[in-house]
Amino acid sequence: MSPKGGGGRGDRLMVPEAEFESYYGKQIIKTPTWKTPDVPLYLFLGGMAGGSALLAEGAALQGLPTLEKVARGAAAAGAGIGTVFLVHDLGRPERFLNMLRVFKPTSPLSVGSFILAPFSAFATAAFGSQVTGWFPRLGRLAGVGAAAFGPPLATYTAALFANTAVPIWHEGHRELPFVFGGSGAAAAGGVAMMLAPAAQSGPAVRMALAGAALDVGALEVMNRRLGMIAEPYEQGFSGRLMKTARALTGAGAGLSLLGALGKRGGKGRRSRVARVAAGAAYVAGSVTLRFGVFEAGLASARDPKYTVVPQKERLAAREAARAASAPS
């Protein structure tokens, strides 16, 4: 009856399974109770909306009205729909306003509520003003506000995941904000690439490309640093999601480069198809990435190995350091 742990997964392991003890193989920490698709979709929408607010403000400054309108619409819609998902995820949705009852820097969900609330207000006001033509100056001011709260909205969700006991989320806290920020920028660029005309989509193409590079690069750095803890990013259901996300983001980048290098400076029909397809691939990649990171967290919580083995190693290292420093 020795409750020894061990993997029964189908994936081939590059290193031998670590030996560890557990209570009948049961998990130690609790699995996050956050719902899917609510929370992964909220993460995607927050990232996309945050990036879009940036894009909209740049477009306004450079006089690209269609890009501005498209991006303002994406920011407002992302914030609005995202908020619905966030409220729906609560066990007691009618009490969602309790989120604004206190402000706690130790709770990224509290900080995030105070980012999401003003962002939604600003983004909605800016879009409304542009569509109706009412209060243009106040509308621009609201747009600046949304752009200021946009990047925090896209990245705070990394703190939300990292500030837990889930090993793969917590230990990856250095890179995860860059993954989410990059992915948000790629999604925002992708949405604008699909909806804005060629002549105005240049900044969106560049933003998506740079965001994709940041997202994929930060993920790579994180996986190398975490070692065994990062396994759920590479194995099982969550691993397949992460691989799909990377492939989609890569396809987006490839297609958009093809479109940019096409005939007549990217204004031909074929270039347009390539650009729309690239935008769709970026968006799909960003959505899939959030599902992958979410599912990886669930897998990391469910297997006691990820809780026990790193902690035993930490204890052993501390013991060794103590033994080395003790006078003999």
Partner 1 sequence: MANSLWGRLDDVQADAGYDGAHPPRMGFFTDTSVCIGCKACEVACKEWNEVPDDGYELSGMSYDNTQALGASTWRHVAFVEKPLETSAGKPLTTTDLGLPGMGPPGAMEGDDQGARSGDAGVRWLMSSDVCKHCTHAACLDVCPTGSLFRTEFGTVVVQPDICNGCGYCVPACPYGVIDLRKEDGRAFKCTLCYDRLKVDETPACAKACPTESIQFGELGELRERAHARVEQLHEQGVDVARLYGADPEDGVGGDGAFFLLLDEPEVYGLPPDPVVTTRDLGSIWKHVGAAAAAMTGLGVASFTSRRLVPRLLSTSLGRRR
User: CB of 27: closest distance to partner 1 in angstroms?
Assistant: 7
Binds partner 1 by CB under 8 A, chosen from 260, 281, 284, 287: 260
Residues in contact with 110: Cβ distance below 8 Å, sequence separation at least 6, in sequence order: 99, 102, 103, 104
User: CB of 257: closest distance to partner 1 in angstroms?
Assistant: 6
Segment interacting with partner 1 (CB under 8 A) among 76-84, 125-133, 171-179, 279-287: 171-179
Is the distance from CB of 164 to CB of 178 less than 8 angstroms? no
User: CB of 134: closest distance to partner 1 in angstroms?
Assistant: 27
Site residues for partner 1, window 64-123 (CB under 8 A)? 89-93, 95-96, 98-99, 101-102, 104-110, 113
- Rank residues 28 and 81 by Cβ distance to partner 1 and give the closer one: 28
User: Exposed (0-12), middle (13-18) or buried (19+): which is 22, by Cβ within 10 Å?
Assistant: middle
Structure tokens at 204: 């969106």
Binds partner 1 by CB under 8 A, chosen from 83, 120, 155, 200: 155
Site residues for partner 1, window 179-198 (CB under 8 A)? 180-182, 184-185, 189
In 10 A of CB 94, how many CB atoms? 8
Asked if residue 203 binds partner 1 (CB under 8 A), the reply is: yes
Asked if residue 214 binds partner 1 (CB under 8 A), the reply is: yes
Asked if residue 62 binds partner 1 (CB under 8 A), the reply is: yes
Site residues for partner 1, window 285-304 (CB under 8 A)? 297, 301, 304
Segment interacting with partner 1 (CB under 8 A) among 117-125, 201-209, 231-239, 320-328: 201-209
In angstroms, rounded to a whole number, what is the distance separating the alpha carbons of residues 176 and 190? Answer: 21
User: CB of 234: closest distance to partner 1 in angstroms?
Assistant: 21
Asked if residue 30 binds partner 1 (CB under 8 A), the reply is: yes
- Chain center to CA of 53: 16
Whats the size of the chain, residue-wise? 328
Instruction: Spell out, one character per residue from 261 to 280, where the chain touches partner 1: x when CB under 8 A holds, - when not.
Output: x-------------------
- Rank residues 104 and 269 by Cβ distance to partner 1 and give the closer one: 104
In angstroms, rounded to a whole number, what is the distance separating the alpha carbons of residues 297 and 315? Answer: 23
Binding footprint of partner 1, residue count (CB under 8 A)? 94
Site residues for partner 1, window 235-254 (CB under 8 A)? none
Asked if residue 232 binds partner 1 (CB under 8 A), the reply is: no
In angstroms, rounded to a whole number, what is the distance separating the alpha carbons of residues 311 and 9? Answer: 22
Asked if residue 156 binds partner 1 (CB under 8 A), the reply is: yes
